[in-house]
Chains A and B, each alone.
Chain A
Amino acid sequence: MHAVRATGLVKRFGTTVAVDRVDLVIKTGEVRGLLGPNGAGKTTLLRMLLGLIRPDDGSVELLGHKLDHLGGDVLDGVGGFVEDPCFYPYLSGRANLSLLAKLDGGLAEADEIDEVLRRVDLAGRASDRVGGYSTGMRQRLGLAAALLRRPRLLLLDEPTSGLDPAGARAVATLVRELAAAGVAVLLSSHHIGELEKVCDSYTVLRHGQAVWDGTSAELDAQAPQSAYALFTSDDAHALELAAQVPGIRVQHAARGGLAVAARAEDMDELAGALSDARVLIRRLELVVSPLESMFFALTSPDEAAALDALAPEQLADTILAGA
């Protein structure tokens, strides 16, 4: 069964088309990343999926039920939040969850609330007023509120915003656990690296349109070259070997090592050649991943073209500077 089936979604604000004929399908147990630059329409799309705004055209089915913008039963089994999660500041975290559980029909018992608070590591501050919470704590409470609905579909907008690295990693683990249990997840994030760790598929938005939609495997196959920082026992020899592999661009980087632009299979070939030549790989860093290069190509074609046009030494510096 499809957890989400959105067809031809359109949302206009005056003369601005925020979302333009977007189709979106998410299967049960699938974790889909939603990417796009600022203003691409990600949040508007999520708001339409949650019934907070009415599409001007198109339709949404969640867990097999047609969604209207008035919410209600059709959102049973759907959890999530858009932008930063918001709560009543004059109530404690636990009291906020109790109220939301009541809105859900009051089926969540106190011990279930305690359990979700424990899962997001908020049990120790659950009795404090939310007004005193940090951004990260409100983010965790937002996750707890979503989990309280025993979701079969999670719609999360920047769920790791405000979290420390360990917290972000824990969220990724949680998402994978939920997906393994059959929960479909739509993750909107600017942190491409975090999405790569958990997503099975991606939808890329640009100017309100879905400019790419597919699985991770399809993305790897279609993505432009990735960029690597390569440090070896003999960079000069490695440079010669790399230059002999078709499809690889390579240059000494200004701050040491080699800057390499290549597809994954070309890097495999280079690794084999280095091994045969007894050149040891001391460090290999993926500086620009396939998803990132695809993202740049799809959402900022000018930037991608500019990257291609750079001289090798400029490319190396750019890559090693984290472009």
Chain B
Amino acid sequence: MTTLAPSAPAVPSPPRVSAGVRNAYGTELSKLMAQLTTRILILVCAAGPFAFALALKAQSGTPSDALFGFWVHSSGFAVSLVILGFAGSWGFPIIAGVVAGDLFSSEDRHGTWKTILTRSCTREDVFAGKLLAVGTVVVGLTLIVAASSLIAGVVLVGAHPLVNLSGVLTSASRMLALTVVSWLICLLPVLAYTSVAILVSAATRNGILGVLGPLLLALVTQLLDLIGRGVLVHELLIGSAFDGWHGLFASHPFFGQVLVGSLVSVVWIAVCLAASWRIMRRRDFLTGVSGQGPSWTAPVKVVAVSTVVIAALALGCNIGPNGVTNSRVISAIGHEFNNVTLLQQQLIGRRVPPNARFYIRPECYRPGMTGAGPGDWSCYVYVFLPQANSVPYQLQSVEYDVSVQYNGCYKAQSPPAFVGNATMQNAAGRSVANPLFIVYGCFNIL
């Protein structure tokens, strides 16, 4: 400083109005929106679905392993639902981690706790302001990607009816409503992941761990999905809450997983935020910028605790009833095969009376495995076709390879020799997706 400009002596002022949560919220929101990572995330969430839809449009293949993936060229809602499925596995944990994982640790890194906590705001105000701001951004990003995926799907593919998870063609208006509701259902688990990121950030004062925390949890969820059969531990993980929307797309919707997932999310949010507030409230703000701050022991502790927790979860993931049972798989496959076969008949121009049914007997088993559980199943669907001659029925069988997930959702695929190619000609002579080629479905595991 060379000189300080001459100034009039300061006049003591009356006490100021207390700054509250609103002020802290405005401040934190401004900070978040000024950060490059937030702006990049907004761009990715807004443009990413369009890029995905354009990439799909440019090729004939489909992401058929994802629920509704086979239908991405048939209905724009399938595009949005495929993106929702991916977001539930990885997208939402990334958004939560990037936005919230550095929420508290960035103040340590910049040494700014002492700057903001010596203003007219209580720690409670600052804490609440941070939560509200990060919640606003995360919810905003979720809604942006939801809107973007829907618009991209509708604009680039079209707002066409879509085959639901019971094999029934569902109107565009109903699909639109169900898709919107599905995205909204995911807000609570997204906020749960956000709370995890906040807790890790507050506890470790390490931004990298804060960002990675939700991703690690998502990874653990994915791993446990592969090895566990019991529903108890699965349903207690945030990742499982993203499966709740599947039940809406059945012809007879089931809501158990939505309710359980929402309740579990609320518990995660409450526990994580309570622990974060306890840390914030009791903390002595001793150091300036990071480097003088928490030592390397915090990340090591986090890794050690995470390892123990993951091991415990892996051991406990068979606890509780098995959600994927033989009777559930057989029932779901049987009903759905009937529906998609009728749909195929309609598509090729045959008249199908209301409530028509085939006489179907499915048999399912797990090759090389006993009992029930998620994994690869083989199903034989025996169809009894009426005949006019002395033998009343002609028996036909179709073999499906069924990949069943722990959450009760499955993908069934049959060789073209049984069900024809992926596409077929409809009554108008246009090429359409063959509903028997790949069959998606979900049954209630609770």
The answer to whether B16 and A77 have CB atoms under 8 Å apart is yes
Does B34 make an interface contact (CB < 8 A)? yes
Smallest Cβ-Cβ distance to A177: which chain B residue? B9
The answer to whether B4 and A91 have CB atoms under 8 Å apart is no
B-contact bits for A60-102, CB 8 A (1 contact / 0 none):
0000000001111101111111111111111100010011101
The answer to whether A86 and B18 have CB atoms under 8 Å apart is no
B-contact bits for A134-152, CB 8 A (1 contact / 0 none):
0010011000010101111
Chain B hits for A166, CB < 8 A: 1-3
The answer to whether B118 and A120 have CB atoms under 8 Å apart is no
Does B119 make an interface contact (CB < 8 A)? yes
**Cross-interface CB contact of B115 among A77, A139, A145, A151, cutoff 8 Å:** A145
Does B299 make an interface contact (CB < 8 A)? no
Smallest Cβ-Cβ distance to A80: which chain B residue? B118
The answer to whether A72 and B15 have CB atoms under 8 Å apart is no
Does A54 make an interface contact (CB < 8 A)? yes
Does B350 make an interface contact (CB < 8 A)? no
The answer to whether B123 and A77 have CB atoms under 8 Å apart is no
Asked, given contacts A54-B284, A86-B288, A121-B3, whether A71 binds B19 with beta carbons under 8 Å apart, the answer is no
The answer to whether B13 and A70 have CB atoms under 8 Å apart is no
Question: How big is the B interface, by class?
Answer: 35 or more
Asked, given contacts A88-B112, A150-B10, A152-B12, whether A71 binds B23 with beta carbons under 8 Å apart, the answer is no
Residue of A50, A81, A86, A121 most packed against chain B (CB within 10 A): A86
A-contact bits for B28-52, CB 8 A (1 contact / 0 none):
0011001110000000000000000
The answer to whether B5 and A119 have CB atoms under 8 Å apart is yes
Smallest Cβ-Cβ distance to B118: which chain A residue? A50
The answer to whether A78 and B118 have CB atoms under 8 Å apart is yes
The answer to whether B2 and A164 have CB atoms under 8 Å apart is yes
The answer to whether A118 and B5 have CB atoms under 8 Å apart is yes
Q: Separation in Å of the A243 CB from the closest CB of chain B? A: 46
Chain A hits for B281, CB < 8 A: 70
Does A182 make an interface contact (CB < 8 A)? yes
Does B369 make an interface contact (CB < 8 A)? no
**Cross-interface CB contact of A167 among B2, B16, B113, B121, cutoff 8 Å:** B2
14 other contacts beyond A70-B124, A119-B4, with CB at 8 A cut-off? A52-B286, A72-B121, A81-B115, A81-B118, A86-B112, A89-B110, A99-B30, A104-B19, A105-B19, A167-B2, A170-B1, A174-B4, A178-B9, A181-B9
Enumerate 27 A-B pairs (CB-CB under 8 Å) in ascending A order: A47-B114, A52-B113, A52-B114, A52-B118, A53-B286, A70-B123, A71-B122, A72-B120, A72-B121, A84-B288, A87-B110, A88-B112, A95-B34, A99-B31, A100-B119, A104-B19, A104-B119, A105-B17, A118-B5, A119-B5, A120-B1, A121-B1, A150-B12, A150-B16, A177-B9, A180-B9, A182-B12
- Ranked 5 nearest A-B pairs via Cβ: A167-B1, A170-B4, A72-B122, A86-B111, A150-B13
